[in-house]
């Protein structure tokens, strides 16, 4: 997500980010816990199942939450971190550093650097393509860098074009990456190192998060104020569902056939149930303004959303976070 879009989350009539309620919603999903952490900005969040923890890029390092003890620690210091993705069976973590234009591999248990490789300009999100065994690193300059996570080696790059956000893979060699400034998703042949098609997303402003539903061969794409369901084979928009403003991610629970789209500006979480390839918004769960990124624990069905409170914004300046207010919300049943 761009800095300007992030800043807009907490700008408005009140110029203040307020906490949402934690009461149970109609679907049964609600905020069941809040785990405090150190102050600082954040971006993507993931669940590292092998090591039973949550990972998120936070401030100048990667923050880890032990899910058994709720203990918080940090590792992999960097300049402007965006994503921390477990690789190599969870033995290492791939960290994108937009400040140094690098990807850093660190040992998952010790947090010590293992290797550093160059990436594109401002590497942001990452994804893993299982057929080729390559890690995909997207940047806002329009390049997808292909990296062999075992050899710690760049294997090539694909020029997609535009401000790239998150990508999802279908398990058969294809990737689908959102282009935020063009309101489209691009289908990519990873093995063939080429772009296959550009799918325009009518009714979608600023696509960010994307998930792939393997059962129905559909993409679930989070936009600003809407979520689109797209046929991954043809690019046809099948549905446009009204969801909250300020989304910067989506989580799809394939086991429970549920998708979750956070609203960083509205302080809510849209819960979408899927049946027969069709999605229905079944709940809008109060969370907290600024909770815009999301990580899913496929084992439990719980999702994790970083958030903080913000002070009123001064004229021409970004709002400042209230000291001591950062926390990770846990939403479940």
Provide the pLDDT for residue 3. Answer: 44
Mean pLDDT score of the chain, rounded to an integer? 92
Query: By the 8 A CB rule, do 249 and 290 touch?
Result: no
**Residue 262, pLDDT above cutoff 50:** yes
Q: What are phi and psi of 215, to 5 degrees?
A: -65, -40
Please compute, for residue 30, the number of CA atoms within 13 A of its CA located in the half-sphere on the CB side: 9
First and final C-alpha spacing in the chain: 29
What percent of the chain is helix, strand and coil (3-state, nearest 5)?
5, 50, 45
Q: Which residue has the higher pLDDT, 202 or 317?
A: 202
**Residue 2, pLDDT above cutoff 70:** no
Strand 303-307 with 134-139, pairing: unpaired
* Per-residue b or e along 106-117, where b marks 16 or more CB atoms closer than 10 Å to that residue's CB: bebeebeeeeeb
For residues 160 and 142, what is the distance between their CA atoms, to the nearest angstrom? 5
Tokens for 33, please give them.
Answer: 């816990």
Q: What are phi and psi of 6, to 5 degrees?
A: -65, -45
**Residue 22, pLDDT above cutoff 50:** no
Q: How far is CA 263 from CA 73, 123, 290, 291, 293, in A?
A: 27, 24, 8, 7, 9
**Residue 7, pLDDT above cutoff 70:** no
Q: What percent of the chain has pLDDT over 90?
A: 88
CA 197 to chain centre: 23
Query: By the 8 A CB rule, do 175 and 164 touch?
Result: no
Going by pLDDT thresholds of 50, 70 and 90, the confidence category of residue 1 is low
Provide the pLDDT for residue 25. Answer: 53
Q: What are phi and psi of 3, to 5 degrees?
A: -60, -40
Domains of the chain: 83-200 (2.130.10.10)
Provide the pLDDT for residue 313. Answer: 78
**Residue 242, pLDDT above cutoff 60:** yes
Going by pLDDT thresholds of 50, 70 and 90, the confidence category of residue 314 is confident
| Least confident range of 15-29, 108-122, 302-316 | 15-29
For residues 63 and 146, what is the distance between their CA atoms, to the nearest angstrom? 25
**Residue 76, pLDDT above cutoff 80:** yes
For residues 231 and 212, what is the distance between their CA atoms, to the nearest angstrom? 10
Please identify which residue in the block is written with the tokens 């290797």. Answer: 115
For residues 228 and 185, what is the distance between their CA atoms, to the nearest angstrom? 11
**Residue 112, pLDDT above cutoff 80:** yes
What mean pLDDT comes out for the span 204-230? 98
């Amino acid at each position: 997500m761009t800095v300007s879009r992030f800043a807009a989350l907490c700008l408005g009539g009140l110029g203040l980010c307020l906490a949402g309620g934690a009461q149970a919603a109609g679907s049964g999903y609600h905020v069941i816990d809040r785990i405090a952490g150190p102050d600082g900005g954040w971006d993507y969040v993931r669940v590292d199942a092998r090591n039973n923890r949550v990972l998120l890029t936070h401030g100048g390092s990667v923050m880890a939450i032990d899910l058994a003890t709720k203990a918080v620690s940090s590792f992999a210091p960097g300049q402007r971190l965006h994503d921390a993705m477990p690789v190599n069976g969870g033995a290492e973590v791939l960290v994108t550093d937009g400040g140094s234009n690098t990807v850093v591999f660190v040992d998952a248990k010790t947090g010590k650097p293992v290797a550093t490789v160059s990436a594109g300009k401002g590497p942001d999100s990452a994804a893993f393509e299982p057929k080729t065994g390559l890690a995909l690193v997207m940047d806002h300059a329009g390049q997808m860098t292909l990296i062999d996570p075992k050899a710690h080696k760049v294997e090539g790059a694909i020029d997609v074009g535009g401000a790239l956000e998150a990508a999802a893979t279908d398990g058969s060699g294809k990737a689908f990456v959102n282009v935020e400034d063009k309101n489209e998703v691009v289908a990519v042949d990873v093995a063939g190192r080429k772009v296959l098609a550009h799918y325009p997303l009518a009714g979608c402003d600023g696509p960010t998060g994307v998930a792939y539903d393997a059962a129905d061969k559909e993409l679930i794409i989070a936009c600003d104020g809407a979520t689109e369901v797209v046929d991954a084979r043809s690019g046809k928009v099948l549905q446009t569902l009204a969801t909250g403003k300020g989304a910067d991610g989506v989580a799809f629970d394939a086991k429970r056939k549920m998708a979750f789209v956070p609203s960083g500006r509205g302080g809510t979480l849209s819960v979408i149930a899927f049946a027969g390839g069709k999605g229905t918004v079944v709940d809008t769960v109060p969370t907290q303004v600024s909770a815009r990124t999301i990580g899913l624990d496929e084992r439990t069905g719980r999702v994790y959303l970083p958030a903080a409170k913000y002070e009123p914004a001064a004229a021409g300046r970004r709002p400042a976070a209230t000291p001591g207010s950062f926390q990770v919300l846990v939403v479940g049943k």
